[in-house]
Structure 1
Amino acid sequence: MPETDIGERHMFRKEWLAGALVLGIVAVVAAIWLAPPAREPAPELDLTMLSGDQRALSEFRNGPVMVVFWATSCTTCVAEMPEIVELHETLAPAGLTILGVAMSYDPVDRVQALVEQRQLPYPIVIDHDGEIARSFNEVRVTPTTVLIDADGGVVWQRIGLLDFHRVEQEVRRLLPSEQSA
């Protein structure tokens, strides 16, 4: 067998292996890029509602859950409440649950007064000891909003005033009725 044949076969094998390696890398990158992102699970928490009732966070997972950390002294929190109410009224019938979480430093009587004054129709949670805020990546700044999907995965966590048009679009993609359409 001439030496050139061995050299050509060796070269062909090297080119084939290089091509296969490139295809393998492309396949892995595509799988990672196209796969849905892995979501950090929302913490399992027992919640004390403003009414005094005890509920587990997981009880609210019949659809997406938006957890809004706020304080009575937070002007941005109070300013965005009408838009949160509107989002609640628009998407709660389709499966969105909004939970307002009053920070631990807020006295319950002040929380109750603001809820009544603003006529907040969504459930309010009292974070007596700060455990809820700690469980969501040490929330310290209000408003902080967390969106959880129906499977209990944290979709995102944002600090500050929200773009409610964008939030509504994101929530609609997570609603059971939108996924079956």
Structure 2
Amino acid sequence: MTELTPSPALTENIARNRRRWLIGAMAGVAALGGVGLAWRTYPPQSILPTAESGLWQLEFAGLGGGTFSMASLRGQPVLLNFWATWCPPCIEELPLLSRFYREHSTKGWQVLGLAVDQMEPVKQFLAKSPVTFPVALAGVSGVELGRSLGNLSGGLPFTVVLGSDGLIAHRKIGKVSPENLLAWASLK
């Protein structure tokens, strides 16, 4: 019987693949650890922006020129959605948010899409896929605003639900579901 010995090239290839797998696994563990830490240190509601701390004084670039003022939404329940044209889950949830706005705007609900993006891609996207709610441009500063509202990772999409009292009632990192919207609709 002949003993088979792998070639040096095959041995090196196997070793390289093992190193890649090990590095990938370590990166995955580190990422999960970071998510766990972010979850554990999620800021309490008391330190997040409220009506008293300046959220309602913010203004954003409007898509048609001019500005969109958060003050115009004050005193109403608001669904504030951070999204971008390059974010597939963001794009997937926009029809749900449009439907929510159509069905609940008569009950006082406001929806504002804050694009963490550049003006031209947002305009081009909305020309092809319009939404029923207002959209304003937050740009890269939208990431910091999202963080101040509890999105420590800066991930998109990110949704914040504000009660008519101006306090944060809910936060959702990731794509909203019909069940989320149904639960939020009962808030005042």
TM-score, normalising length: structure 1: 0.67
Work out which of the residue numbers 124, 137, 145 in structure 2 matches 1:135: 145
Distance 2:140 2:146 in 1: 14
**CA, structure 1 residues 127+160, in 2 after alignment: closer, same or farther (shift >3 Å)?**
same
1:115 aligns with 2:126: yes
Larger radius of gyration: 1
> 1:54 is matched by which residue type in structure 2?
T
Work out which of the residue numbers 88, 103, 115 in structure 2 matches 1:102: 115
Q: Match of 1:15?
A: none
Contact 1:64 1:171 in 2 (8 A): no
CA RMSD of aligned residues (A): 2.1
Aligned length: 135
| Ranges in structure 2 where 5+ consecutive residues have no aligned partner | 1-43
* Residues 1-181 of structure 1 aligned to structure 2 (within 5 Å): 40=48, 41=50, 43-44=55-56, 45-103=58-116, 106-130=117-141, 132-138=142-148, 139=151, 140-174=154-188
**Percent of counterpart pairs with the same letter?**
22
Ranked by relative contact order (alpha carbons within 8 Å, sequence separation 6 or more), the top structure is 1
3-state SS of 2:65 partner = coil
